[in-house]
Amino acid sequence: MIDINHLTESGFRGNVLIVKNGAVMCEYSNGYADLPNQIPNTADTRFATASLGKTFIATGILKLIECGKIDFNYTLGNILDIDLNLIDPNVTVEQLLTHTSGVPDYFDETVMDDYEKLWTDYPSYKIRKNSDMFPLFIDKPMMYPRGNRFQYNNTGYVLLASVIEKISGMAFDAYLKENIFDVCDMRSTGYFELDRLPAKCAHNYIYCDNTKDYRTNIYSVGAKGTGDGGAFVTARDLINFWQGLLSHKIISEDMLSKMLSKQSGDGNDPEEGFYGLGVWIIDNPNGKDYAYLQGCDPGVSAIAEYNPDKNMISVMLSNYGDNVWALMRRVRKEYY
């Protein structure tokens, strides 16, 4: 068993679930899902996960490819019947998946670090469906020529969700529920509006230095998740997602191998140096590479990592934005 308490520096607030060879090695819950009413996080608490949901979009796209509905080389101009303005219509599905498209990123993390500022002129409560994100980027120029380099890109996954909607004829979250969440027994996972959350969803909290207390993040993120992220999950559902992927319930062994292999990135950063298809890849010179999903928003932090050599899946979710990455590094150091 893994003792998470000696790995956390100051009482990690959220849920941790670690499974090895199908057996639970660590299950931990701490902190409050509802802080003022002191309702604790429990094993079945649903957490917001920010960009972690990009992996669900990528998996949905790979499913469409295997079904013969689209191809990696299909272009935005081929698929979407909208005015792309300055966006290159020849950007491919594969380039969107691998963050090499160059499409204008509505939140360019190389020059912006405050996600809340996005909603100064465009209120977050307007974000109720995927297409509501378009005004944030559709009039901007390409960042660089398509295929030129890797640069993490949120807009690319909004566009991929639009591809899912166009090809499937369903809202992207309805498609994901039918083809991924239900298939993997992810019964608690979904995209929910912040002003009508279902039961057992944790509120997300941001610490305010000026008042020395917490506020929720309801004005800091979109009212509902879109293609670039925002799903609510439980830790168990993320274990089920990884197990469903690895047992080929959604996509084939060959497609999964492509998804979990290095497709882009330069390797300069030991953790974020490589990218597969919707997942981050950590190079492991002494064995098989590690793959993980991650997300970060104001008051939100999430990671779910798979170590194939140990057959180990580690999930860490916090509704206070606690440092899941530092905790994951300690798990790697002591248990990998």
Determine the Cα angle at 270 with ends 264 and 272, to 5°: 45
Q: In 27-183, which residue ranges form alpha helices assigned H by DSSP?
A: 54-66, 76-79, 93-97, 154-168, 172-176
- The yes-or-no verdict on residue 303 having pLDDT over 70 is yes
- The yes-or-no verdict on residue 95 having pLDDT over 90 is yes
**What is the C-alpha separation between 9 and 327, in angstroms, rounded?**
9
What does the DSSP 8-state code read for residue 75?
B
pLDDT at 254: 98
In the sheet with 312-318, reading across from the earlier edge strand, the strands are: 23-30, 14-20, 312-318, 300-307, 290-297, 280-282, 274-275
Confidence tier at 113 by pLDDT (50, 70, 90): low
Angle, nearest 10°, between helix axes 54-66 and 154-168? Answer: 40
Q: Show the domains of the chain with their CATH numbers.
A: 4-335 (3.40.710.10)
**What is the C-alpha separation between 300 and 315, in angstroms, rounded?**
14
**What is the C-alpha separation between 271 and 325, in angstroms, rounded?**
10
For the whole model, what pTM was predicted?
0.96
- The yes-or-no verdict on residue 108 having pLDDT over 70 is yes
Q: Which of 277, 320, 325 is nearest to 305 (CA)?
A: 325
Q: In whole numbers, what is the pLDDT of the chain averaged over residues? A: 95
Confidence tier at 130 by pLDDT (50, 70, 90): very high
- The yes-or-no verdict on residue 111 having pLDDT over 70 is no
Q: What phi and psi values does residue 222 have, to the nearest 5 degrees?
A: -60, 155
* Arithmetic mean of pLDDT, 27-31: 96
- The yes-or-no verdict on residue 117 having pLDDT over 90 is no
What does the DSSP 8-state code read for residue 50?
G
pLDDT at 9: 67
Helix and strand counts by DSSP (H, E) for the chain: 8, 13
Instruction: Using the structure block, give the residue that is written with the tokens 């039918």.
Output: 178
Confidence tier at 109 by pLDDT (50, 70, 90): low
Confidence tier at 249 by pLDDT (50, 70, 90): very high
| Percent residues over pLDDT 70 in the chain | 98
- Cβ burial of 138 (10 Å; 0-12, 13-18, 19+) is middle
- The yes-or-no verdict on residue 112 having pLDDT over 90 is no
pLDDT at 245: 98
pLDDT at 191: 98
Residue type, 298: P
pLDDT at 2: 85
- The yes-or-no verdict on residue 276 having pLDDT over 80 is yes
* Arithmetic mean of pLDDT, 79-102: 97
* Arithmetic mean of pLDDT, 263-286: 96
**What is the C-alpha separation between 259 and 97, in angstroms, rounded?**
10
pLDDT at 107: 82
Confidence tier at 271 by pLDDT (50, 70, 90): very high
| Percent residues over pLDDT 90 in the chain | 92
- The yes-or-no verdict on residue 116 having pLDDT over 80 is no
Confidence tier at 186 by pLDDT (50, 70, 90): very high
* Arithmetic mean of pLDDT, 291-298: 97
**Cβ pair 312, 19 in contact under 8 A:** yes
**Cβ pair 148, 32 in contact under 8 A:** no
